Amino acid sequence: MFRIFNSTKKNIDLFKVYKVNEEVHLLEFLINREFKNFNISDFTQKVSSNPLLNQTPYDEKFLNLVGSEIVGDDLNPKSISGKTRLVFFFHYLELDKPLNTPFGKIVIPEAIQLPDRLSSKITYNAPS
């Protein structure tokens, strides 16, 4: 498990949200500093139909700063030594509700089409 260190500077920004299909989105974050002990399950969104349930990330990947290469994933996590990007799939994301993060709530921007730099590297495979 990994946990992001807090500081007075903003540690993470939701860079873009990409629509994969009607039920799945890919979220891309820019991480602005070194971190270790990060727990990806700290990113959640309450399920409207059942407030006791949370949606959580799926199949996370760490990318280089420009977002063109995978440098770590959920099976091979990597301590980040500087700025990098984090992407993960999210099922049933409600765009009109904030995303809960270790740093507070983040407003979700409008979803856009998945760019070639990601679609050529990251493939959605439904959980079994």
Indicate whether 81 belongs to any domain.
yes
Indicate whether 69 belongs to any domain.
yes
- CB of 115 closer than 8 Å to CB of 66: no
Domain tally, the chain = 1
Indicate whether 23 belongs to any domain.
yes
**Could you tell me if residue 67 is left (phi over 0), alpha (psi between -120 and 50 degrees) or otherwise beta?**
left
Range of the domain at 85: 12-114
Indicate whether 88 belongs to any domain.
yes
Indicate whether 36 belongs to any domain.
yes
List the chain pLDDT tens, one digit each, 128 residues. 333 333 334 677 888 999 999 999 999 998 776 666 567 888 899 887 777 678 889 999 989 888 899 988 776 655 556 678 899 999 999 999 999 887 678 889 999 999 999 999 999 999 88
Name 62's bridge partners: 72, 86
**What is the reported pLDDT for 5?**
37
Indicate whether 92 belongs to any domain.
yes
Indicate whether 89 belongs to any domain.
yes
Indicate whether 7 belongs to any domain.
no
Q: Compute the Cα dihedral for 44, 25, 78, 35 and give only its sign.
A: negative
